[in-house]
Structure 1
């Protein structure tokens, strides 16, 4: 569920981006609604609201949530400050690659790979399986970053659609594949599960 909370600001961004640009009045001020820049402002505001609510509820933000929020503020802020969508196009690739770097670094720093630190409280698996799963997450984040970058600068008319639905679709497919992979190994770690006859 937590993975999909991250998509709430992205969906609001998409809705505003697709809205036909028009002036709206709020608190005696006129604002343009629709298009990339108002959508970026909505992305920043909704991210602050969503992650602010999570912080109030949980008393903390997970590192991934904090990274996503900071990236949104930095790249979204630069987009608005310089009136250039190029900065926003780099957000998804950079965030994905930073996640890949964190998962990769966990192979060399600490006593557990990152995916085991995240999911180890819920599952007991052999270290070899955790390592393979961690490598799969690295590959996933590298691929997502590269795909977002390629679409953003090659198919500029579709990059927002891909940013929202492509990213969501890739995440869902990867989580399903991860579930299938894990289901093959769960019985190995449960001593009460009878082994099949050889």
Structure 2
């Protein structure tokens, strides 16, 4: 359910764009949709994650500039800026603090050696850096409609593949059922 709620504003943005071919209108709808999503998250969980807050701020600022200036270039930068900020947070956590971000997020459910947590954390940094760069490439080398398709299906698909690959990699380092019993 959380995944659906998290992606609902993007889906709404996509549907509005496909129905109208109007990036400005789709962005104008994205802003309150994201705010409502955050409100729903707050009401149901009593917390907002930092990543969600960063995304909300970028949607409001860059989406607001897109609507106010009637220029779709601003919203096209949002996925890149968000991904690069996340990447910097993951990279910085390699050197600041006792645990990398990925370990802090996942260690309650999974136990891995610290070396593997650092490798996974660095992989997330690379993933975010590549996704941000890929967004710019698609946004400024293909049509607006192609970018909108990529924003929903391409980025979501690549994220799914990356998470699946990460899960396969992590499974190599998890204790087997018979090891846990011993």
- What interval of TM-score do these two structures reach, taking the shorter chain for normalisation? over 0.9
Whether 1:76 aligns to 2:66 is no
Structure with the bigger percentage of strand:
1
Q: How many angstroms apart in 1 are the aligned matches of 2:155 and 2:73?
A: 18
| Secondary structure of 1:111 counterpart | coil
Whether 1:132 aligns to 2:119 is yes
Q: Which of structures 1 and 2 has the bigger CA Rg?
A: 1
Q: How many angstroms apart in 2 are the aligned matches of 1:90 and 1:2?
A: 25
| Secondary structure of 1:124 counterpart | coil
Q: 2:84 aligns with which of 86, 97, 101?
A: 97
| Secondary structure of 2:180 counterpart | coil
Higher relative contact order (CA 8 A, sep 6+): 2
For residues 16-31 of structure 1, what are the structure 2 equivalents within 5 Å? 16-20=16-20
2:11 corresponds to which residue? 11
In the TM superposition, structure 1's runs of 4+ consecutive aligned residues that sit over 6 Å from their partners are none
1:172 corresponds to which residue? 160
Q: Is the 8 A contact 1:144 1:167 kept in 2?
A: yes
Whether 1:187 aligns to 2:175 is yes
Consecutive unaligned residues in structure 2, runs of 5 or more? none
Q: How many angstroms apart in 1 are the aligned matches of 2:161 and 2:49?
A: 23
Distance apart, 1:5 and its partner CA:
3.2
Q: 2:35 aligns with which of 48, 51, 60?
A: 48
Q: 1:61 aligns with which of 22, 40, 48?
A: 48
- 1:142-179 deviation line (CA, Å, top 9, x unaligned): 01100001000010231111111111101110111011
Q: CA RMSD in A?
A: 1.8
Structure 1 pair 179–80 and aligned structure 2 pair: CA distance change class (3 A): same
| Secondary structure of 1:78 counterpart | helix
Q: 2:25 aligns with which of 38, 47, 58?
A: 38
Distance apart, 1:63 and its partner CA:
0.5
| Secondary structure of 2:48 counterpart | coil
Distance apart, 1:98 and its partner CA:
0.1
Q: How many angstroms apart in 1 are the aligned matches of 2:115 and 2:96?
A: 17
Distance apart, 1:121 and its partner CA:
1.0
Q: 1:155 aligns with which of 135, 138, 142?
A: 142
Distance apart, 1:108 and its partner CA:
1.2
